[in-house]
Structure 1
Amino acid sequence: MSDTPASPNNAAGPAGANPQNPPSLTVLAQYVKDLSFENPRAPEVYQANEAPKIDVNVDVQGRQLHTDQYEIELSVAARANQGDSAEVMFVTEATYAGIFEIKNVPKEQLEMLMLVECPRLLFPFMRQIVADATRNGNFPPLMLEPIDFMGIYIANAQRKAAAAANPQTEPAS
């Protein structure tokens, strides 16, 4: 830590932030909110010789609990089918959540922080939960690939902007 006084050129710090109240993100709690593993065709499913086709869907939701406190939910649903058939090998669904205290962040940056940085902190735990659930179902652990939450956030923002710029008119009845 430095005791050097701030120069006049950077007295306010980055982007005019108040050095007395710097932005902060604190994890107050983390927990499994929902966990389900289904193995509907056991034990016959273990006779399959072909690799499963696995579809994974990820969702992030956030809501304010109290002043400066937010619950962020990271949900994953994975479904494995036998090859190209519709026969389900396993289905797992999990929601891992955290309560975050977010202080001194401009409102225009709050959504990005909630939908990018918070799930990035939760993801390694969710990855382990999904891997353990599939391994405990006697399948190889499903190791989720890293997720680019910022890329998803930007793509969603661009879709919203495009939709706002080109509103579809409803047909006359």
Structure 2
Amino acid sequence: MADQEPVPGGNGSGENSSEPQVSILAQYIKDLSVENPSAPQVFSWQVQPGLDVQFNIAVGGAAEDVHEVTLKIEVSARSENGVHFVVDLSYAGLFGLRNLPEEALQPFLLIEAPRLLFPFARQIIAEAVSSTGFPPLLLDPIDFTAAYMAQLQAQQGAGGAGGQEPTETPSQA
């Protein structure tokens, strides 16, 4: 039976493998704020608001081999008439990481982990905006690789990075 054969290269027990292991342990909303400060007047405004989207990534340790990655997204819609809506979301995930090479840890936490969290955060924002009485807002995908590389370049340009990689990546979408 093929499903009972040991994995080639493994030790047969499934434990103490030296292969890199990544798992998503949990995903959750840490904080969500939704404002429609100009209601009900905003619904009679005949102007298209400008959108401002900002995002930030924070990484912290939660336990041994467990890291919390928080994707903070702030969206505001404003026009010359005033604020249409504001949504602030902090969406986080707990990632179990074992046997990851040191040089792969920060890129995973600041690129891949947020990339995995983003579709869920995007859906929460769409539903939150819809709940304010506006059409759902579907955010464009974010290039987390470009944001990470820009952060690295900024740190190297500052000269004070000391070879350390960032643990927080602020950016504008």
TM-score by length of 1: 0.81
Task: Identify the residue that residue 85 of structure 2 maps to in structure 1.
Answer: 90
Task: Identify the residue that residue 27 of structure 1 maps to in structure 2.
Answer: 24
Aligned pair 1:39/2:32, yes or no? no
Structure 2 unaligned residues grouped into runs of 5+: 10-16, 161-173
Q: Distance in 2 between matches of 1:86 and 1:147?
A: 29
- Alpha-carbon shift at residue 24 of structure 1 (Å): 1.5
Q: Deviations over 1:83-105 (max 9, x none)?
A: xx261111110011010101111
Larger-gyration structure (1/2): 1
CA RMSD of aligned residues (A): 2.0
Counterparts of 1:1-173 in structure 2 under 5 Å? 20-82=17-79, 85=80, 87-164=82-159
Larger RCO of the pair (alpha carbons < 8 Å, separation 6+): 2
Residues 45, 81 of structure 2: 8 Å contact kept: no
Could you list the structure 1 runs, at least 4 aligned residues long, displaced by more than 3 angstroms after superposition: 1-6
Rate the CA distance shift 1:133–1:5 in 2: closer, same or farther, 3 A. closer
Q: How many residues get paired?
A: 151
TM-score by length of 2: 0.81
Task: Identify the residue that residue 17 of structure 1 maps to in structure 2.
Answer: none
Structure 1 unaligned residues grouped into runs of 5+: 7-19, 166-173
